[in-house]
């Protein structure tokens, strides 16, 4: 099963990346050698997409982790009402990417959007910013949605990790004279290092593959300025039918992600938090 559904598709993707491949059965698929790969390094949209993907990782991953950890720390104790707040933080995770992407599109719509109404209220006059039509505001909307929807996942992992710290360890540190900051620095963070590694690696892998929210909100526009590696790959494959080129992009992304994950695990394991 593993060979059929994992090994073969990976091999096939790698194989296709060396051809000018057509989806039609029996079509002529000329062998291209490494030319799909060399083309990647000369494609300006790939540079934009790679930069956007990198920026998306750098912005959304630390913020998601910080908010998730903060919320988990606040809601670790089973105080009255904590179950409500735990559910509130986690609920966005179970919503549909497509649906919430549309909801965010409406929130940030230039005409009748809630965000323009809010900004207009504070500005004192009518505002009609076209949030999703400008590169940086569109990126911001995508980041915001991704953080909002993703925080609950890291929250739940951190909550479980914090719950697993023996209470006596924290009490012992407090008695030993540690301030709350030092309790976190010397006891809590080292105790949840495994969870931090896990969340970092998976969030980075997920963020590098950001697709749905960009596809639904900006389609990579305006003028490819919000493309990510995945949306560009999709566009190449299913709009431009350049399957060989898309497969080369996918292979390259897989190699980069594999290297990145390995490096993260090594760094986080070595680091004495």
Partner 1 sequence: MASISLDGVTKVYPNGYEAVHDLDLQIADGELLVMVGPSGCGKTTVLRMIAGLEDVTSGTVKIGDRTMNDVAPRDRDIAMVFQSYALYPQMSVAQNIGFALRMKKLPKTEIDRRVRDAANVLGITDWLSRKPAQLSGGQRQRVAMGRAIVREPSVFLMDEPLSNLDAKLRVQMRAEVARVQQRIGVATLYVTHDQTEAMTLGHRVAVMRAGQLQQCDAPQALYDRPKNMFVAGFVGSPAMNLLEGHLADDLQSVTLGSQSVPLPTGVYDRRPQLRNYAGQAVIVGVRPEDLHSPDAGRPGVDIEGVVELVEALGAELLVHFSMDARLVQSELSRHANESGEEDIDSEQVAVARIEPGHVVRLGERYRFRVEPERFEFFNPTSEDAIWG
**Sites of contact with partner 1 (CB under 8 A):** 166, 168-169, 171-179, 182, 186-187, 190-191, 193, 272
Residue in this structure with the two tokens 């799909």, named with its chain if needed: 36
Between 161 and 230, CB nearer to partner 1: 161
Cβ distance 93 to 149 under 8 Å?
yes
Q: 129 φ, ψ to 5°?
A: -75, 135
Per the CB < 8 A criterion, the answer to whether 233 and 43 are in contact is no
104 within 8 A of 141, measured Cβ to Cβ: yes
The smaller minimum CB distance to partner 1, of residues 45 and 169, is found at: 169
Q: Which helix (H) or strand (E) holds 54?
A: helix 44-74
* Contacts for 46 with CB less than 8 Å, ≥ 6 apart: 40, 229, 232, 249
For partner 1, the closer of residues 178 and 205 by Cβ is 178
Nearer to partner 1, 44 or 272 (CB): 272
Give least dist CB 89 to partner 1, A.
24
Q: Output the smallest distance, CB 273 to partner 1, in A.
A: 8
**Minimum distance from CB of 84 to partner 1 (Å)?**
18
Which phi and psi (to 5°) does residue 19 adopt? -125, 160
Q: How far is the CB of 192 from partner 1 (least distance, A)?
A: 11
Nearer to partner 1, 22 or 182 (CB): 182
Q: Which two tokens stand for residue 66?
A: 């910080």
Q: Minimum distance from CB of 118 to partner 1 (Å)?
A: 40
Range 220-229 burial, b when 16+ CB lie within 10 A, else e: bbeebbbbbb
Least distance from partner 1 to the Cβ atom of residue 73, Å? 19
Cβ–Cβ under 8 Å, residues 244 and 20? yes
Instruction: Provide the 8-state DSSP code for 5.
Output: I
**Nearest distance from C-beta of residue 75 to partner 1, angstroms:** 18
44 token code pair: 């300006």
């Amino acid at each position: 099963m593993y060979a059929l559904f994992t090994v073969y598709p990976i091999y096939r993707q790698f194989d296709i990346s060396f051809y000018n491949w057509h989806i039609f059965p029996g079509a002529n698929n000329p062998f291209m050698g490494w030319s799909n790969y060399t083309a990647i390094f000369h494609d300006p949209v790939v540079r934009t997409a790679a930069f956007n993907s990198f920026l998306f990782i750098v912005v959304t991953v630390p913020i998601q982790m910080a908010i998730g950890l903060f919320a988990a720390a606040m809601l670790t104790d089973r105080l009255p009402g904590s179950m409500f707040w735990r559910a509130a933080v986690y609920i966005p995770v179970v919503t549909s990417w497509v649906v919430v992407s549309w909801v965010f599109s409406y929130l940030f719509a230039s005409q009748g959007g809630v965000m323009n109404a809010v900004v207009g209220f504070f500005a004192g006059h009518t505002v009609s910013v076209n949030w999703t039509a400008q590169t940086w505001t569109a990126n911001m909307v995508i980041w915001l949605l991704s953080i909002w929807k993703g925080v609950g996942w890291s929250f739940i992992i951190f909550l479980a990790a914090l719950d697993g710290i023996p209470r006596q360890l924290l009490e012992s540190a407090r008695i030993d004279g540690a301030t709350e900051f030092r309790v976190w620095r010397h006891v809590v963070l080292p105790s949840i290092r495994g969870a931090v590694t896990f969340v970092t690696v998976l969030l980075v892998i997920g963020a590098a593959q950001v697709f749905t929210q960009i596809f639904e909100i900006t389609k990579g526009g305006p003028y490819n300025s919000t493309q990510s590696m995945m949306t560009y790959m999709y566009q190449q494959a299913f709009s431009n039918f350049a399957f060989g080129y898309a497969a080369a992009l996918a292979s390259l992304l897989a190699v980069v992600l594999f290297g990145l994950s390995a490096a993260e695990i090594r760094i986080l394991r070595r680091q004495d938090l």
